[in-house]
Structure formats: C-alpha cells, structure tokens
Structure 1
Amino acid sequence: MKLIIQIPCYNEAEVLPTTLRNLPRRIEGIERVEVLVVDDGSTDNTAEVARAAGADHIVRLKRHAGLAEAFKVGLDACLRLGADIIVNTDADEQYKPEDIPTLIAPILRGEAELVIGDRGVAEQPNFSPLKRRLQTWGSRVVSRAAGIPIPDATSGFRAMTREVALRTNVLSHYSYTLETLIQAGNHRFAITSVPVRTNPPRRPSRLMKGIGDYLLNSAVTIVRAYTMYRPLRVFTTIGLALIALGMVPLVRFLIFYIQGRGSGNIQSLILGAVLLIVGFQTILIGLVADLINFNRKLLEEILYRERLQSNAHTKAEVTAVPPDLPSPPGV
C-alpha cells in the first residue's frame, strides 16, 4: 500500500526543510511513503528547497492559483503516482507530523474512507475566543450540510482513500476544506475524525485576511455547496417561507373584507399575492435545480470513470514518473 503526503506551498522555503525532515517515512501497514510538494507559483525558491530537502515529487504551478487549486492539482498528481492513501498537511507544520499514523489508522482498519484531524477548536489555545466560537459554529453548519458530525470542518489535516480522491471535485477558489466535506458526505463515504495535536502558529494565516473575510468566504462556500447538493430542499424551504409570509397580509385583507372594510386595504392583497407568486416560482426553480442536480451527478460519474481509465494507464508507469511533475495546462 502506497501513501503520499501532499503539501501545498506558497513561499515556504524558510520552513519547508524542517517540515519535510519531520515527516514519517516508515509507517506500520504502509509499504511505501512518498512526499509530494505543490509549489503554488511561489516567488521564492520553494521548489528548489523542497527538492534539496528530500521531496519525492514536485508540482510547480506557473502562477499563484490559491490553496483550493493547489490542493486539487496535488490530488490529481497523487492519483497519477498511484497513491492508495493521500494525506494532506500544511507546509508551516501547523499539525504535528507524528500524528500521521493516527490519522490514517481508521483507513487501515477499514473503518473510514476520509479522516479529519480534529484540533479541538472549541478549546484550541492558539485561537482567540471569537475564532473558537466561529469555528465551532461553522463546523455545526457543515455537519448539517454533509449529514455527518464533524467537530473541525476547517482542518486541512486529513487522510483519504484513492476512491475518495477520485470522487472529489474542488470548485471553490477560496479553500477546499468545507466543500470537499459536503461532497464526501453526500457521496455517503465513511467519514470520521481523530484528535490531533498542533504547533503554535509561526506566522499569520495567508488564507484568511480577517474575521470578516473568513465569514464571507465560508458562508458563500457553504451556501453554494448546500444548494448544489440539496437544491430541492433549499428552494422549497425558501418558497414555503415566502408563501407563509404572503398568507399574513392575505388573511389580514380577508378579515377586513368580511368586515366590509376591504376597499381600504388593497395593498395587503397586492403584497400577499406577490409573495405567493414568488414563493411558488421559487419552488418551481427548486424542481428545475433538482433536475440539473441529476445531470451534475451524471457528469460527475463520467468524470470519475475517465479518471479511473486515465489513472489505470499511469499507475503501471509510476516508477518512470520524474520527480518534477508538470502542472496542468493553464495553471
């Protein structure tokens, strides 16, 4: 069984040697451990440092595309290299590399297909009180969208099987953590969390510019993913809420009409009628979106089968793959 540890990097030349040096190279139950570094268009010598520090494979993106794109490119490279299990971690060693065997243990036991490293966000000493509350609340929202309990939805320290990687499609340009969990939950993969340890932060986050930026981007990602995978529920809920609101002025108008004062309350009738019409239209949009959702599932299945065929051809040639892999066209 082959494990590949992928590390998305952007200008991490200073910290990368320490991170690579501390990664485990022998794990019980794993025949081969390799390290893949995704250089996300760094302006320093991240790729050269990674090669000198012992990275087995390096993917260099021509431009800085962001964490989500780097994660997606890394998954594709790991699949091409024949990985059976993929572990994703940070270049700044936020997560303790000694916990990688703990992270993959549920997969080796056959208990899970996707494992999330739980930092204990509710009591994380490196987080401010506000960030702890936001992380806890956000994880609950994602848990509802994914249909599974996830105590630390934003954790980037995770392990997945080859099957999960083949089924993963990252559409967000911000981060992969929330979207991929919702996808995995809707694909009914076996998902679990294990407690992991963290190191004190070495520098401020480059992904999150502030609390406002985090809230906005996380909310957009959750709403988009939830609407994509459960459109009928979303639009039906909105439509029924509008219909319920529309009934209030209509009932008010009917009461006044029965009392003989309906002519002075036409505005209630108009408002109620508009809300009812919009509510029914929203439900119809949900039906159309649900049909589009079925079409998306068909497209995902086609993409999955194409990935299977493509990786079946490359897996037999893994030993011939050079250590510096080319980035996908346009990246």
Structure 2
Amino acid sequence: MRAIFGGENTLRLIIQIPCLNEADHLPETLAALPHSIPGIDEIEILVIDDGSSDNTAGVARQWGVHHVVSHRRNRGLAAAFQTGIDAALKAGADIIVNTDADGQYEGADIAELVQPVLRGEADIVIGDRGVADNAHFGPFKRRLQRLGSAVVRRASGTTITDAVSGFRAISREAAQKLTITTEFSYTTDMLIQAGRKRMAVKSVPVRTHRTPRPSRLFKSIPRFISQTGVTITRAYTTHNALRVFVGLGLMLAFVGLLPIMRFVWFYLAGDGNGHVQSLIIGGSLLMLGTLVAVMGILADLIATNRKLLEATLYKLRKLEEQLADEGERPGHDEGESADVVSLKSRRVR
C-alpha cells in the first residue's frame, strides 16, 4: 500500500471543508468526522474560510482544526476548493477528501469513500447520493440532477451517476494534475478534466442529511442550470477544442452548400439570374464555416500549450514536495499573498 503513495512512512488524509459563514453549522460537521480509518495513519482537518463575515475561522480554531486558510474576500466555491487542494498538498496530504460544512454528508462515510484510492483502484472517488430516490431531494431536483449527471457523463467519458456531488476523495497524484478554472463550481469542471486526463474515477454510495438552509451556491434553479451549462460547455470546449470548432465549422459549411447547390440547379436549368441570393448566402456560410474550423485548429494549439503548462505545474508541485521532504520549504505567514491569508497551522500528533 505504501508503494501507491510514494513509500512514505505515514499515510496522511486531509479532510478539507470550504466554508462561507458556517460558524453555526461547522461544529456539528467537525464532530461527525472520523478520527481513525483503517489504512490511514494520520487524519487532519483543513477549513477554507471563503471571506466569511461571521467567526467561521475562529470557530474552526476553537475546535482544534489543524489548518485554516482564509480568503480576504469571498471568491466563490471553485476558488475555495482550489485553495484547499493547494494547501492540502503543501501540508503533505496523500489523500484529500472534500466535504461540505452544512452537514449534508455523513462524516462516517469518509472511511468508505477513501477505500478505492487506498486499494489503488481509483484516482478520484465521488460520493453518490442516490439522486434517483434520495428522500431529501424533491421530484424536480431528482430529475434535474439525473439529467445533469447524464450530460457530464457524456462530456467527461466517465460513468459517474452523481456528477455534482461535492463529497469526493482525491489521490495526491490526481490533485497535483488538476487545476480548477471555472468561477462557479468545481464539480463538473473537475470531472471533465479527469476524464480528459484518463484518470480512474469511481463512485461509492453515501448517506445524506437534510440541509438546514438553502444552498448558497445559487439563488434559483434557472440560475443554477444556466451557470452549470456554461461551466460544462466551457470545460468541454477547453479540452476538446478541435472537435467542437471543426464540427461546428463543418456543419456551417454543409448548410452553406445547400443554397449553393440550389443556385447551381437553377443555373443549369437556365434560370440562374433570379437566384443569386442563394449563392451569396451559401458562400457566406461556407466562408464562416471555414473560419470556425480554422479557429478550432488555433484553439487546439492553445489547448496543447495548456497541457504543457499543466505538465510544468505538475513538476513544480512535485518539486515542492521534494523540497518539503528535505525540510527546505519555507513556512507560510499571514501575508503570503494579496488575496489569501494562511493562518498558522497546528499539527496534532
């Protein structure tokens, strides 16, 4: 088992919890987290305070949370998730589990969530809430979740049945290769990236509880649908630019050929003078399709450059890990960035 995680003497799990004004609910969530899991040597907690206006960070420290990272202002769930991943990697996590602070997920199920990673069967494990018959979801939400998951499965090439579940376990290797770029939610972007990078993604059934308040991620169902749709489209296009743009260009070119063929038909019949508009429309669509296809080629070159940048980032993260193992990595202080404040971590042994 140690070989899977680089031969370290201890296997460390860090449970990260993105928070926004969760001072009232955080203690109950923390109390439900497991203190020991078979196969795990150390369990640590990381709270990401995403610009809360209450005392979320203070409550986390009062409850003995090992690591607290605070954004100076609210930056959104996706940014909080990425900040947590970066902090967990720097803290030496071999496995990272992400959960919510509102108590939706059963903390004890973390033990089952990490097992596929421990066995080397998965890079990412998604907690499946059983959206088809979950008693805490209304009929409309069940249908919406199933439809969204089907779209993400298609876009990512995975078999995940609960694509927007935030309850997930990630191996260190996978976390080093992921970079969330969306500003809305990390869930779908992460899965599309994982599918594109040929990561092994699995689901395990988990229990859920009714949340004490409405979601803070979105104000209404239509807004959630539109923002999720934009996120999926953007993530898919980013990783499949050639397929998207060339396919769209060929479609436009085909449509453009139809009026051109119509003009040719009438021209050969000796009646071409009255159908010049078909030639103009067809030529315009054909030219537009060609330009879109060329855009696809350029976008694919940009995507290739992104892969090189991601490979460089991965190597930098590995280098940071090596420096940390050698005791050469500098510690964090409260002014490490203009936008993120890392409060002093407390390691409990």
Structure 1 length-normalised TM: 0.95
Equivalent in the alignment of 1:238 = 248
Shift of 1:325: 7.1
Aligned pair partner of 1:158 in 164, 168, 177:
168
Does the CA contact (< 8 Å) of 2:73 and 2:339 recur in 1?
Answer: no
Indicate whether 1:219 and 2:229 are aligned. yes
Equivalent in the alignment of 1:278 = 288
Gaps of 5+ in 2: 1-10, 341-349
Change beyond 3 A, Cα 1:179–1:327: farther
Equivalent in the alignment of 2:83 = 73
Indicate whether 1:127 and 2:127 are aligned. no
Shift of 1:290: 1.0
Equivalent in the alignment of 1:53 = 63
Does the CA contact (< 8 Å) of 2:16 and 2:97 recur in 1?
Answer: yes
Change beyond 3 A, Cα 1:46–1:85: same
Shift of 1:125: 2.5
Shift of 1:327: 6.3
Gaps of 5+ in 1: none
Shift of 1:167: 0.7
The amino acid across from 1:330 in the alignment is D
Equivalent in the alignment of 1:176 = 186
- For residues 260 and 95 of structure 1, the distance between their equivalents in structure 2, rounded to whole angstroms, comes to 73
The amino acid across from 2:192 in the alignment is I
- For residues 257 and 134 of structure 2, the distance between their equivalents in structure 1, rounded to whole angstroms, comes to 47
The amino acid across from 1:76 in the alignment is D
What are the equivalent positions in structure 2 for 1:301-320 lying under 5 Å apart?
301-315=311-325, 317=327
Equivalent in the alignment of 2:346 = none
Change beyond 3 A, Cα 1:327–1:51: farther
- For residues 155 and 335 of structure 2, the distance between their equivalents in structure 1, rounded to whole angstroms, comes to 36
Does the CA contact (< 8 Å) of 1:40 and 1:65 recur in 2?
Answer: yes
Number of residue-to-residue matches in the alignment: 330
Secondary structure at 1:4 match in 2:
strand
Does the CA contact (< 8 Å) of 1:2 and 1:85 recur in 2?
Answer: yes
- For residues 115 and 14 of structure 2, the distance between their equivalents in structure 1, rounded to whole angstroms, comes to 15
Equivalent in the alignment of 2:19 = 9
Does the CA contact (< 8 Å) of 1:61 and 1:327 recur in 2?
Answer: no
Shift of 1:240: 1.2
Secondary structure at 1:6 match in 2:
strand
Equivalent in the alignment of 2:51 = 41
C-alpha RMSD of the superposition? 1.9
Over residues 199-234 of structure 1, what are the superposed CA-to-partner deviations in whole Å (9 max), with x where a residue is unaligned?
012100000111111111111111111111111100
Does the CA contact (< 8 Å) of 1:239 and 1:281 recur in 2?
Answer: yes
Equivalent in the alignment of 2:3 = none
Equivalent in the alignment of 2:103 = 93
Structure 1 runs (4+) greater than 4 angstroms displaced: 315-318, 324-328
Secondary structure at 2:100 match in 1:
coil
Aligned pair partner of 1:191 in 201, 210, 217:
201
Change beyond 3 A, Cα 1:327–1:218: farther
Structure 2 length-normalised TM: 0.90
Identical-residue share of aligned pairs (%): 52
Change beyond 3 A, Cα 1:78–1:306: same
